[in-house]
């Protein structure tokens, strides 16, 4: 049981806590009342504020909507006014631009194109919005007039500023490829830069807005004419320069070599004079071929115009390549890309056709020359064909994208030249074989026949054109190996051909030699011709080409030459037989000669004297042009005759076979030698 004191204390504690709780509760009630009051006041304020906002909104929103409508109306008015101004401007375009269009674009292309742009827009506007209006017809007519003026300006600029390229500049352009030294490229300015820019702008406008391609025809016609005239001018330059100075020159490039001008001959790709010059060199060494019968027209003394025409054509071909390359570069700036190849094809046709026609004329002339056996004219085909084949890669590159008919023109010409060249070679060989034997045409002194000199001269030409001539022969081969012939194959064909010509020549010479009644003169004739052939082969290096298929040719000719010398020497037997020991009478020293023996000795002396005089008189008029061979033959014969005569004199000069020894002993040994030294010398 809890003590009373402790229970009393406990009760007081509980009462105190209860009192505190009541006070707290009273405070909370008061706070809630105040909070309620504040809430009511706030609700009242917010309600009042909401009421005012609603009133404000009701009054502002109509004003805002009205303002917005006004702003929209204002914008519409401004747009309408702007559209009206824009539309009205189209109605004034014709008036504003008519003067500019009428005066043309010359000197003010920028302003003119600006006016054309305005007219173009006006045309588009009226077509879309008022297709039946008179204004549309008016601006259309103005646009067409303006377009025609631009086309006329294009033609005028191209005509006035397109100039032919001067021959000297073309020659510099061509020779630039052959220079070993690095030099500044020769640039061609077909049009001044300012003019070029105007032409480009007009062409682009005509394509984009003018819907016109006629200007491309105008372009290629004008440029085609300039290209053709430039090449013809070069050809004429060659003719004039050659007639005045003999060789056309390419002057120095002005901007680089003006202070120190030099004239340098244009590189000549191939001439037909080289072999003739070689022949002149041989003449100095006694290898002249004198006039003798031949139905081959001589190669010597040909008109230099043959070379001029050849060189002119060769350089015109090179000029075409360079000028065509330059024309294409110019064309790419002016003509739209998808029209460039076609326009270029049309542009080069006249110049290209001119070259091809001239080439075919050369082939035709060669064909006629073959018929009349004028093979020197045919030689013009060789340097031309070689140059065409060398230039063909550049040709092919320039003609990329052109029509097949255009690309095939050069290959067709090359084939024609190869065919006629091969025909000429074969006909030449046949003519060498079949050249007629005509007594009145044979050289009376037994010198080199004209047939021989012509044949060697023709073969010497082939040294400069070995690959070309070999290819000609190979092109006519029908074997499968010939379809892809190598240079070695061509070289062997050419060697075989040369050996064939030499063989035919040798057979013909043997036949001609029979015309001479005197076997000694026949031998001298063959000796001269064989010696001329051998020396010519050696000096012109033809012997190396012959040796490709005939390694013993040189030895064979030397044997033939020696055989003819021996044949000639036999002509002196009728002289030396009189004094040969085997034919002399035998007698005892100190024993008086019988009349028969004395008469025999007299006959020996007389026969020797008469024979010596006769042979010296006859053979003095014969010719051995080669000094070395002439001296060699004289010396050999002199030694033989002098030795025999010396022995004869030694035996009989002291024998009393006659009362008048001076009648029979007419010559001393030295005199006989002097007489033989005057053989083959008409001036002695």
Q: Kindly list the averaged pLDDT for each block of 10 residues, start to end, along the chain of length 684.
A: 80 88 89 89 87 82 81 76 62 81 88 88 83 82 89 92 90 68 61 91 88 86 94 89 54 34 40 44 45 47 65 93 94 91 94 95 92 85 93 93 93 93 92 76 91 92 88 74 66 93 94 93 96 93 91 94 95 90 64 79 90 93 93 94 90 80 89 92 66
Angle between helices 487-513 and 553-569 (to 10 degrees): 10
448 beta partners: 289
Residues 6+ apart with CB under 8 A from 473: 422, 425, 490, 493, 494, 497
The 10 Å Cβ neighbour count of residue 216 is: 22
pLDDT in the model for residue 437: 63
Q: Which residues pair with 503 in a beta bridge?
A: none
Per-residue model confidence (pLDDT) at position 378: 84
**What is the predicted pLDDT for the residue at 561?**
96
- pLDDT (0 to 100) of residue 527: 97
Greatest CA span in the chain, whole angstroms?
A: 228
- Measured between alpha carbons, how far is 680 from 664 in angstroms, rounded to an integer? 26
Residue 433 CB contacts under 8 Å (≥ 6 apart), including other chains: 504, 507, 508
**pLDDT score, position 580:** 83
As a whole number of angstroms, the distance between CA 435 and CA 319 comes to 42
Report residue 397 as tokens: 């590159």
Structure tokens at 600: 């025999």
Q: What is the pLDDT of residue 483?
A: 46
Q: Can you list the alpha helix ranges (DSSP code H) found in 109-133?
A: 109-129
Smallest CA-to-CA distance from 561 within 500, 495, 628, 615 is with 628
Q: What is residue 587's predicted lDDT score, i.e. its pLDDT?
A: 64
């Amino acid at each position: 049981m809890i003590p009373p004191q402790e229970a009393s204390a406990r009760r007081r504690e509980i009462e105190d806590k209860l009192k505190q709780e009541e006070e707290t509760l009273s405070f909370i009630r008061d706070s809630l009342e105040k909070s309620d009051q504040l809430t009511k006041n706030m609700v009242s304020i917010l309600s009042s504020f909401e009421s005012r906002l609603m009133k404000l909104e009701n009054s502002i929103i109509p004003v805002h909507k009205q303002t917005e409508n006004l702003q929209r109306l204002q914008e519409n008015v401004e747009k309408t006014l702007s559209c009206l101004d824009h539309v009205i401007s189209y109605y004034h375009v014709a008036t504003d631009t008519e003067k500019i269009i009428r005066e043309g674009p010359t000197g003010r292309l920028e302003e003119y194109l600006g006016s054309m742009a305005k007219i173009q827009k006006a045309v588009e506007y009226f077509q879309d919005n008022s297709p039946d209006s008179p204004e549309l017809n008016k601006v259309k007519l103005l646009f067409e007039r303006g377009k025609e003026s631009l086309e006329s300006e294009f033609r005028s600029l191209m005509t006035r500023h397109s100039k032919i390229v001067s021959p000297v500049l073309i020659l510099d352009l061509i020779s630039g490829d052959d220079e070993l030294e690095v030099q500044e490229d020769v640039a061609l300015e077909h049009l001044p830069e300012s003019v070029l820019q105007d032409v480009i702008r007009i062409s682009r406008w005509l394509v984009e807005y003018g819907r016109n391609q006629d200007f491309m025809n105008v372009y290629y016609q004008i440029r085609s004419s300039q290209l053709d005239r430039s090449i013809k001018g070069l050809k004429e330059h060659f003719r004039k320069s050659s007639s005045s100075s003999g060789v056309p020159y390419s002057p120095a490039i002005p901007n680089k070599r003006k202070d120190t001008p030099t004239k340098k001959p244009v590189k000549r790709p191939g001439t037909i004079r080289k072999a003739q010059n070689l022949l002149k060199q041989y003449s100095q060494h006694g290898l002249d071929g004198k006039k003798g019968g031949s139905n081959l027209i001589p190669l010597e003394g040909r008109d230099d115009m043959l070379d001029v025409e050849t060189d002119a054509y060769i350089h015109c071909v090179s000029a075409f390549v360079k000028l065509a390359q330059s024309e294409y570069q110019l064309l790419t700036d002016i003509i739209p890309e998808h029209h460039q190849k076609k326009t270029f094809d049309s542009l080069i046709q006249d110049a290209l056709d001119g070259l091809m026609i001239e080439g075919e004329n050369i082939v035709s002339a060669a064909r006629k020359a073959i018929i009349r056996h004028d093979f020197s004219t045919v030689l013009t085909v060789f340097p031309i064909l070689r140059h065409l084949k060398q230039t063909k890669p550049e040709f092919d590159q320039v003609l990329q994208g052109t029509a097949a008919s255009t690309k095939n023109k050069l290959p067709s010409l090359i084939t024609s030249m190869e065919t006629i060249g091969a025909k000429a070679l074969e006909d030449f060989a046949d003519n060498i074989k079949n050249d007629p034997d005509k007594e009145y045409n044979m050289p009376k002194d037994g010198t080199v026949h004209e047939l021989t000199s012509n044949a060697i001269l023709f073969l010497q030409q082939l040294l400069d054109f070995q690959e070309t001539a070999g290819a000609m022969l190979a092109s006519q081969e029908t074997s499968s190996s010939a379809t892809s012939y190598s240079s070695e194959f061509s070289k062997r064909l050419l060697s075989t051909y040369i050996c064939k010509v030499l063989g035919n020549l040798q057979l013909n010479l043997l036949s001609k030699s029979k015309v001479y009644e005197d076997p000694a003169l026949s031998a001298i004739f063959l000796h001269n011709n064989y010696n001329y052939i051998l020396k010519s082969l050696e000096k012109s290096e033809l012997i190396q080409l012959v040796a490709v298929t005939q390694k013993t040719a040189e030895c064979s000719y030397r044997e033939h030459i020696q055989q003819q010398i021996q044949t000639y020497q036999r002509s002196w037997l009728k002289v030396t037989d009189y004094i040969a020991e085997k034919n002399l009478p035998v007698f005892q020293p100190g024993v008086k000669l019988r009349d028969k023996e004395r008469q025999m000795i007299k006959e020996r002396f007389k026969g020797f004297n008469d024979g010596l005089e006769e042979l010296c008189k006859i053979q003095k008029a014969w010719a051995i042009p080669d000094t070395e061979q002439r001296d060699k033959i004289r010396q050999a014969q002199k030694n033989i005759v002098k030795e025999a005569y010396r022995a004869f004199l030694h035996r009989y000069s002291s024998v009393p076979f006659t009362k008048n020894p001076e009648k029979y002993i007419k010559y001393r040994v030295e005199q006989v030698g002097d007489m033989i030294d005057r053989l083959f010398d008409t001036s002695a």
